[in-house]
Structure 1
Amino acid sequence: MKQTIIPTLLAFFCLQTTVDASSQWWDSGSGSEWYEEGPAWKESKVTIPDYPQEQKLIEFSVDNPATRNHHYFLDPQSLSLAEDYVIRYSVVVQTRSGTSNVFYDGIRCTTNEYKNYAFGVGGNFIENKSAAWGRIKGGDFFRKALLRGVVCNRTSDSPYRPEEIVDRIKYNR
């Protein structure tokens, strides 16, 4: 039985490879008259905002036991939503020792990516010359928290408007 199955299968696969490619029943997408590629996404010009002022920051929560001793703040004055649908913001991460890490980032809600445009050093932003879009991964606790409902509407994968983001944080929505 085994001796006849293997040669039969081998012959079947050899015959299949000789079938003319034009007889394929499926459309590979090339030349389809129903599909049109939209315009390529283009990032808007980015201007790094002023350094966050401590008295204007609003705190948001990050639900993660590993970072329960950290405090996370968003600068509402840095929030912007450009034509490229990237929501940009400044974040201050304060550790339990009192050290602050400051970032100016952007999030693309449709792709779950972020880009760090600048970081804070000595009360000033320093432009990140190697800024590139990257996936928000497991260790990016505050970015994941922002992505999952603070700056992005998870039902539509679109960003909230800046005033909506401030309301969501202030009123814990």
Structure 2
Amino acid sequence: MITMEDIIRDGHPTLRKVAAEVAMPPSDVDKQILSSLLEYVINSQNSEISAKYGLRPGIGLAAPQINVSKRMIAVHLTDDKEELYSYALFNPRIISHSVEKSYLQSGEGCLSVDEPIPGYVQRHARITVKGVNLEGKEIKLRLKGLPAICFQHEIDHLNGIMFYDYIDKQNPFKQVEGAIPIER
């Protein structure tokens, strides 16, 4: 089971590396790592389990955040219609995106960043993601709202990009013209 001690913090060199593709079919070790990423995110949202193990709640986690530089992410969240998005993916990639932008009104956070970093993070409002699930099946997801933002955040981790790289240093809360504000 992954704990907060397993999650590397901002400044660690692995967080700035481009992660390696996972060979298909995935090894048992890679399947176990991906499974444990999803398990952490699910457990972190359960108040009893998170209190017992000292887990910080999160909606997504990428393998580089546990110092494994491979292209694996896990996401577990509900959208504004209470639809559940619970996915563990090998080699996820964004295959298309909208020109229209969106951002979280409350700003983004990250399990690898201990302090809050205020500001708007511009993301694509809609994306299509392809990846391979734990069963080895290729899946394609069309996403918008919070799920789209979360997937972009986690896929950025696979490319060595941190959320605060997108925040305008001079004007962190600069309104993004025509962008859709997303409430969390």
Q: TM-score, normalised by structure 1?
A: 0.34
Larger Rg: 1
Q: TM-score, normalised by structure 2?
A: 0.32
Larger relative contact order (CA 8 Å, sep ≥ 6):
2
